[in-house]
Structure 1
Amino acid sequence: MQHAPFVAWLMQTGGVAHTSDARRAGYGTREIADAVLRGHALRIRRSWIAVRGADAATLTAVDVGGRLTCVSALAPLGMWVPPAAAADGRVHVSVAPNASRFAQAGLRAHWGAGPAPVAPRAVREHPLNVLAHVSECLELVDALAVWESAVNKGIVAPAVLRRVKWRSVRGRQLAEATSVLSDSGLETHACHALRALGLAVRQQVWIAGQPVDLLVGERLVVQLDGGHHLEKKQRRRDITHDSRLRLMGYTVFRFDYHQVLFDWAHVESVITTAVAQGLHA
């Protein structure tokens, strides 16, 4: 059973390792070969070894000379995985820009490097690089939800996200949006932006039995939908409350968090136009 210590070491490394790392850990060619011969390990490419039953997606990444990243790296890191992205089934792999081409059937290749350096033989990307690839791969709403989950799970702090030198506009947008949601919340962010225009804005004013998010002047209600508003029961309550407000003579506008964080120009235009029409008085 001379292979047993080697297999235990291999499992501790995450199930996949380069043979040179195994030799540095004190395991010789004979021990590695014995583990393979007995079916406890298998070879991937020429110099990689994996424990039997290792994560299939990681093996796929190693097999093409890349690292697991983006959607495929979320669950191992404890981040939220968007259902549509999970259902896609492709393995997301980061590869060096100068890497040789390979068959990409069943793969989603990410050729760009992330902001964080990674060890040459790492099999999974750094969490910050995973977030960078997510920012470029998913719709903004799903990407923001993933970034929020990284903060909520304690994987990365909002202050860290703000200081990272993101290489894309989307990365910078998501870092700012995640910080807003973590630090002050969607409602406070919108309130500050509207007050900066000189508007009289109050938060959480009770009207028709429920609080409204923002009341501009006396008659203009602005409701802001976060993720929980996507639930059917909550959505029905929102529609019922909006109907009551309109019957009481209020003008009601409802915006989702994608609009507030990524399309503020539209939100501002709607509200300022309503004020110009006197709908707030």
Structure 2
Amino acid sequence: MDAFKALARCGGAARRPVLARMGVDDAALRRAGRAGVLQPARGLYALPAASPDLVAALRNRELLTCLSAAPMYNLWCLPPNGLRHVYHRRRESVRGNAVHHAGLLLPPASLRPVAALADVLIHALRCLSFAESLVMVECAVGRGDITVDFLRQHLPGKRNGKARAVLDWVDRGSDSLLETLARTYFRQAGISVQAQVYLERVGHVDLLLDGWLVVELDGRHHAEWKQVQKDHRRNNESVVQGYTALRYYYPDVVHHPEAMVAQVLQVLARRR
């Protein structure tokens, strides 16, 4: 197998034994080295764009887990804080800017130094903030990769109370982490929320509050002019039909949720 293709299948980096099992011989590795494949350590090969966390995990013989493993499973996640979240059978061997997570429930991934999805999510629920763990779990649950019941069964006892409390807010229907967080914050404030509601001549709106307040959540693609025009026309049509529409952006939802919720409550109070 071509070394570049094999490394891509492994997430961007791999050790020599893994590549050999995939059919990459020494001659292919030498050709790949001349073509740009890096060798960060003896027996370790990486594409130039490989994740530094992945390379570090392979070098230190660790497994990525928690927030550091989210990209490997294409999970929604909030920006990392610079720490590497890993599992190692010897905790004392974990060095550098890393957080050690103990215990594995299932065997790790076969081609990548990554813990199984269930372990990644359990570690995240025990380690991360409410918002960080919620979006990761809801992404996996929404895709059908895992169930809330499975996670709850493997988080017993008082020490896992905080983790189980996050699971109480996991739902389906959101198209993005912004929808998940905004929906949850509104529900925590006692507001009735429906996600992805279809309105005639408007289409699906992100959230509908109390049956009449439309909340749209804008990601980066909404900065494109054609999308801006489309969004404005949708807003206008919803107002014509008697709805009220508010728009919020990533910083509003992620960094200033209290202000967003307070503003929504003010608008809802007028009709109530």
> Are 2:108 and 2:116, in contact at CA under 8 Å, matched by a contact in 1?
yes
Distance 1:33 1:168, change over 3 A: farther
Mapped to 1, the partners of 2:20 and 2:267 lie a distance apart of 68
Could you tell me which residue of structure 2 aligns to residue 220 of structure 1? Answer: none
Question: Which residue of 57, 60, 64 maps to 2:60?
Answer: 64
User: Aligned AA for 1:124?
Assistant: V
Is 2:219 the counterpart of 1:230?
no
CA offsets per residue over residues 5-28 of structure 1, 9 Å max, x none?
Answer: 222222223222221122233332
> What does residue range 1-281 of structure 1 map to in structure 2 within 5 Å?
5-36=2-33, 38-83=34-79, 86=80, 88-96=81-89, 98=90, 101-104=93-96, 107-118=97-108, 122-163=112-153, 165-166=154-155, 169=158, 171=160, 174-175=163-164, 177-178=166-167, 181-182=170-171, 230=257, 232-239=259-266
Which of 1 and 2 has greater Rg?
A: 1
Matches of 2:50 and 2:60, distance apart in 1: 16
Asked whether the equivalents of residues 110 and 133 of structure 1 are also in contact (C-alpha less than 8 Å), the reply is no
In structure 2, runs of 5+ residues without a counterpart are 173-182, 193-209, 212-252
Query: In the alignment, is the contact (CA less than 8 A) between 1:162 and 1:175 conserved in 2?
Result: yes
Alignment TM-score, normalising by the size of structure 2 = 0.57
1:111–1:72 CA distance, 2 compared to 1 (3 A): closer
Deviations, residues 115-157 of structure 1 (Å, cap 9, x unaligned):
2222577412211111122122223354234322332343322
Question: What is the DSSP-based 3-state SS (H/G/I as helix, E as strand, rest coil) of the residue aligned with 1:82?
Answer: coil
- Give the equivalent residue in structure 2 for 1:224: none
Q: CA deviation at 1:159?
A: 3.4
- With over 3 angstroms needed to count, the CA separation of the structure-2 counterparts of 1:150 and 1:65, relative to structure 1, is same
When residues 29 and 100 of structure 1 are mapped into structure 2, their CA distance, relative to the original with a 3 A threshold, is farther
Secondary structure at the counterpart of residue 30 of structure 1 = helix
- Give the SS at the match of 2:93: coil
Runs of 4 or more above 6 Å deviation: none
Q: Write the letter of the residue equivalent to 2:262.
A: R
Separation in 1 of the partners of 2:157 and 2:112? Answer: 24
Give the letter for the 2:19 counterpart: A
Instruction: Give me the identity figure in percent.
Output: 21
Distance 2:117 2:11 in 1: 16
Structure-2 change in CA distance of 1:44 and 1:169 (3 Å) = farther
Distance between the aligned counterparts of 2:137 and 2:30, measured in 1? 42
Unaligned 5+ runs, structure 1: 191-202, 205-209, 212-226, 246-281
SS of equivalent to 2:171: helix
Partners of 1:159 and 1:35 lie apart in 2 by: 46
Aligned Cα RMSD in Å? 3.8
CA distance change for structure 1 residues 47 and 232 in 2, over 3 Å: closer, same or farther?
same
The total of aligned residue pairs comes to: 199
TM-score, normalised to structure 1, is: 0.56
The structural deviation recorded for 1:235 is 2.1
In the other structure, the counterpart of 1:266 is: none
In the alignment, is the contact (CA less than 8 A) between 1:135 and 1:170 conserved in 2?
no
1:80, 1:145 within 8 Å by CA — same for their partners in 2?
A: yes
Query: Take 1:100 and 1:45, find their aligned partners in 2: how far apart are those partners?
Result: 21
Provide, for residues 228-253 of structure 1, a one-character-per-residue CA deviation record: whole Å limited to 9, x for no partner.
993645422424656997xxxxxxxx
